[in-house]
Structure formats: C-alpha cells, structure tokens
Amino acid sequence: MKLAMSLGFCLLMICAETTAGAAPGESARVADVLGEIEIRYRQGRLGEAERQLYRVAAIKQPGRLPADLRNPAPGGNASGQPNATRVLHDAWRYVVTHEVYGSELHNLLLPPPDLTYVLDSATLPLRVSYNAPAHASLAQAVLTAAEHSWVVLIQQYGFSEPPIEDGAQRYRIYVEDAQGAGGYTAPYDEVWTTPRTDCYTYIVIDQSNDEFSVAGTVAHELNHATQAAMDCVEPVSIWENTATYIMGQVYPDELYFTIGVMPYFQSQPWRALDYMNPNASDYYEYGGALFMWYLADTFAPTDGPVFAAEIWQNSIQNDWVNEPDYYDGIEAAVAARGGSETMEDIVIDFAESRFFVGSNDDGAHIAGASNFWDAEVALTEHHQTLPVQSAIPPAAREPAPFGANHVLFDLPPGGAPLTVRFDGDDDTRWAARVVLLGGGATDSRALELGPATGDGSLVVEPGGHTGLLLVVANLGNGSYDPDDANWPTSSYTYTVEQALPPPVITGLSPGTVEPGQAGVQLRLQGENFREGTAFGLAFDATDLEITALGSVTGTTVDFTIAVSPTAVPGPRSLVLTNGDGTQATGVDLLTVVDPTAGPDAGAGNNNNGNASGGGGGCGCRAGGTSGSGLPIVLLLLVGLGVYWRRRRRE
C-alpha cells in the first residue's frame, strides 16, 4: 500500500496489515465499517461478542455483515486506518478469554480452504494458493519470498517455526482479496501440544500487490507468524515494532520502508513505547521499529535480528497472563549478553538517542541515524530566550509511561553557568537528562532526582555550546504493564536560568531561645538566598521544630520555631538549602539557654562568627574561619525539626 511521505513521494507501506493501500474508496469503506461498529458498540447498541464478530467479518467476509453495516456513512473511522492483524488478534483473544471455542466467531477466524490454484514449496512446509491465473506470477513471488524469509527468520535469526496443525502438513498463505489490506496474519487456534502460549496462524497477501515489491510484505507477515509461534499474547503494537524492523533486515533493499514510517513514531514521542490506537492505526506502532533499531544497535550491533529473536524467546510464558512480557524479555536479553540495564535505564537512554536522528545526528548515538529522513523528534517546547521559570509542558504533550519529552533551549552567548531545575508529579517515576548541543561534542548529564519527590537541580557550564536539551522520561509508577493498554499522562515543572553564587549565612536574630518556648520568630541573615522547589531549613537537633516559614528575600529568611520543654541547653546549627539545591550551614547559630542558670547562660553564642557559606549542594562548610562544618547526613536523622517549602503543580 502507499503512503504520502513528507519527502514528496509515495512509498509502499510495510505496515501491510493496514488498509491505506486500497483502491480509492475501498479503504474508506473498510474503515467506515469498523468505525460504525465501534460507534454502535460505544452507544450500547452492540455487545462485545457482536462487536468482535462484525469486526472480523468486515475483514474476512463483508457479505456476512448486516445490510445497514455494509455501506455506512463515511467518517466513522477518521482517526486512521484499521489494522487487520490487530482486529483478528483481538478476536482470537476474545475467543480464548471467554472460552467460546467453536462459536460463530471462532469458526469465522479459521483459515479458508485452499484456493483454486496451489503452489507448494519443494524444500519447506509452505503452500501458497490463489484463485485467478492472472495472479500466478504474484503467487510465485510470494512463495519465493516466503521460502527465503522462512530460512532467514528461523535458521539464521532464531525465531520459532510457525506451528502447522495436524492434517494441514503445510503453512498456508493465501493470495486473495484482503479487503484493502496489503496483507495480514491471522491467529485462529491454540497449540495444545506445547506448554507455551503459541498459536496457529495463516497469512493473507492481497492480490493487488505487485510481484516486485511484495517480498517485504511477506517477510513482515511471516515474522508475525514466528512471533505467534513463541508468544501469541504480546500486544500487537509489539508485533509491529519487531516485524517492521525485521523485514528490512531480511531484505536490505527494503530498509527505506522501515525508515519511511519512523516519522509517525517520532511525531508523538510523549506516547508510551507500546501505544497503539485502539480502533485504527495511525502508523505509530510501525514507526516504533526505531526503538527496535536502537536496541539492536546498542546491545547487539553486529547481530541485531538475532537479538530481536532473543527478546521474543525471553518473552515466552505458559499461560494467557502475559508474564514475562516484552519489556521483561528485553531486560533478560540484555542481561544474557552481559548488560545490567533495566527498562528504566533503557527508556531514558532511548529518549535521548531518538533526538539524534536525521539532521540532528551527532554520530554518537544510533549508528546510521543520519539516514532516517524526516524522522527528527517532535519537540515538546522550544524556548528561544532565557530565563524560563516554572514552565510546564502542554497538556496534549504530557508524557505517558515510557513516553518522553524533549524541551530545547537556545543558549545566549557568553557561556554563563545555568541552573536547570525539574519537579515531576508524584504519581509516577521520572528520569531526566541535560544535554548540551552545538559548538563541539555533545555533552549529556543525568539530572539526579529525588526518588520520592521527583525533583532535582543541576548547574551546567554551557561553554561554547549553542543549545540545551532537557530530556524527560516518564518511567511509570512501578506497576506499569503494557497489557493494560492504559497510558495515563503526568506533568512536571522545569526552570532554566542563570546560576547564582552559593548562599552565605551571616547571622540569626534573636540568637538564644529557652526550653518550652513556642511561636519564636527568627530572622536569618545572609546573601544569595533564593526560593524554589528545593528550598528548606533544618536544625541539627530534634528538640527544635520549624513550624512556619515566612518571607524569603535575597538576604533574609523569616521563620518561626517551637522549642521542646526538654531541650538541653547548648548551641544548635542550621542548614539552609536554596531553591537550586545549593546549601549553607550556620554552625552553632542558635543557643538554647537555661533561664535559671544566671546572666551568663547564653555566653559564647556568636551569630555572625559561626555561619558558613554554601558549597556545591553538600550542606557542609565550604570554607570560613570557625567550626569544622556539619555533615549533611545530620539532615537525615529521623525526627529532625525540618520545614521544606515546595511548590507543587496543582
């Protein structure tokens, strides 16, 4: 089938299951039928069983549809084109989960009898049948491609051989009307003789294909058959990611097909990696071949297709609960090759790497990515001036689990240090990187985030770089499962601004308090104080509680404390954490005095002599003339009197 590409020409769509290559009007009819079925289902006019039956009939036997569904008004499926393999896979899952074997739906899923003319392979258990003598040369091209693909996929790459049911003797491929689809792979029954969840399939190649370009479609569909022979439960989006990558490996001349659909994936990077439109394809899942390409290039640069098969081998399970799933299979395949990366590591690294394709290729990420034409990733935002403070992504571009955002900042000349701050919603886990672009080698640094709060900051020296890229990945909430087909989005705030000098504490007034006092108002003096999500004050003792935080200026912080009645007389130190994460410690800044001990009880307290200035976010003294500084570990003691000011997104 053909898709209009942004380069100004059309190419045969490797995503053969879709109907975008149908004759004018034909694709629209199939799409509109499926769209109308979905409308009626959502309105409660169809039950789930009828929905599945009518969807399969629209692909396989339109004449079985009720008369009022055969020619519905156009526009019911405007969001994209139907994926025939997805329709049939969903129906087969319905048969299994509802145990309706032998039902009208199950019978409709079964392969048809051989067509009028039959071609059998002389070397492999393959059969191609067709109806019209005019399709003989196409059928022969299909058989030749199937023989080659079978050998490469199974004997060279390591995918499993498609099972053949008793009495059939050969794997069946039909050249016939696929109702507008370039081709599809249809699962129809479980293989009861094996413990794993594999299933029998057959392939349909549409008779409108030409014999010169059909090989890629055959390789794509036969890869689906080998996937079903290993794991018939994985979401179809994963089937498509793999098969779109694999077909260009089986037939290297077809690589431009694989590359040609990457822009559909790259245009919406905030979607989950496993996302697929529920009722119609917009080709995102096919363009996801870029993810498989990245995996192969990163972990198996010399034998990527073998690595793809290893992922599927590690995804096999023995029941219809999809565990291990494809993501588990990736981790297992990586570990088997000596790697230690988790899916979380892979998601953020891929999020960075997918930026460097097409005209953005820097030669240091995905090999050959400069050839991925028009596949530059869509930016979430592009800021041309600084500072940018407490910005949020557009709601339509908030990342779903295993989705990513890319925020680009143009850097002004001069190379002044910049502070990058990030604060993610607490309903998910986050990863972020700061990447400096242009003016030399790419410089990538992890932005360390608090595991519970999802916030953090980083000071960078731009040097001669001309751009800064903030890469954000939503890692899911820890229970994310691709089988749920549920992709809730989450948001965050980010700031990029000129970095300030570290804070310096010079004094505190008043400098003494007594046990049992409450509502004591104090003012901290110093320099370079700055609010932000990380701003906070903390004493080094549990008997002082910060009960309120007042105004914050560049030189003062007003706050209120309560002193425990059992507070032991003596000095206390205070740590200030600025909004950008830099810290300063006021050593022995406040003294608890015993009011019964006489006029000299507070002697030795020096508000100005025991304050130390910031330093690199460690909370220790960075210099000064008094004290040895307090280790920041004091802040971690359970029960410290602490007050943090955080600005969370409502």
Report the predicted TM-score, pTM, of the whole model to 2 decimal places.
Answer: 0.81
Class of domain 504-644: mainly beta
Q: Classify residue 515 by its DSSP letter.
A: T
Class of domain 379-479+488-498: mainly beta
Which amino acid, one-letter code, is at 195? P
Instruction: Assign domain 2-353 one CATH number from 3.10.450.50, 3.40.710.10, 1.10.390.10, 1.10.579.10.
Output: 1.10.390.10
**Cα gap 94→50, rounded to integer Å:** 11
- For 270, 299, 336, 520, the CA distances from 341, given in Å and listed in that order, are 22, 10, 11, 51
109, 188 contact by CB (below 8 A)? yes
Nearest CA among 61, 46, 68, 207 for reference residue 130: 207
Angle 455-343-581 (CA atoms, 0-180°, nearest 5)? Answer: 15
Query: pLDDT value at position 214?
Result: 95
Give the relative orientation of helices 289-299 and 326-336 as an angle to the nearest 10 degrees: 20
**Cα gap 470→647, rounded to integer Å:** 20
**Cα gap 18→300, rounded to integer Å:** 30
Strands 381-383 and 512-513: unpaired
Across 196-200, 279-283, 305-309, 398-402, least confident range: 279-283
In the three-class reduction of DSSP (H, G, I as helix; E, B as strand; rest coil), residue 321 is classed as coil
Question: Mind listing the pLDDT tens digit for each residue in 330-387?
Answer: 999 999 999 999 999 999 999 999 999 999 999 999 999 999 999 999 999 999 999 9
Which amino acid, one-letter code, is at 371? N
131 burial type by CB count under 10 A (0-12 exposed, 13-18 middle, 19+ buried): middle
pLDDT at 28 over 80: no
Backbone Cα Rg of the chain: 32
* Torsion of the alpha carbons at 476, 380, 445 and 619, rounded to the nearest 10: -80
Confidence of residue 630 (pLDDT cuts 50, 70, 90): very low
Nearest CA among 15, 78, 485 for reference residue 275: 485
pLDDT at 624 over 60: no
Question: Mind listing the pLDDT tens digit for each residue in 299-339?
Answer: 999 999 999 999 999 999 988 889 999 999 999 999 999 99
Query: pLDDT value at position 113?
Result: 95
State what percent of residues in the chain have pLDDT above 70. 86
In the three-class reduction of DSSP (H, G, I as helix; E, B as strand; rest coil), residue 209 is classed as coil
Could you state, in order of their start, the residue ranges of all structural domains in the chain? 2-353, 379-479+488-498, 504-644
Nearest CA among 620, 622, 646, 623 for reference residue 634: 620
Tokens 């040369």 -> residue = 137
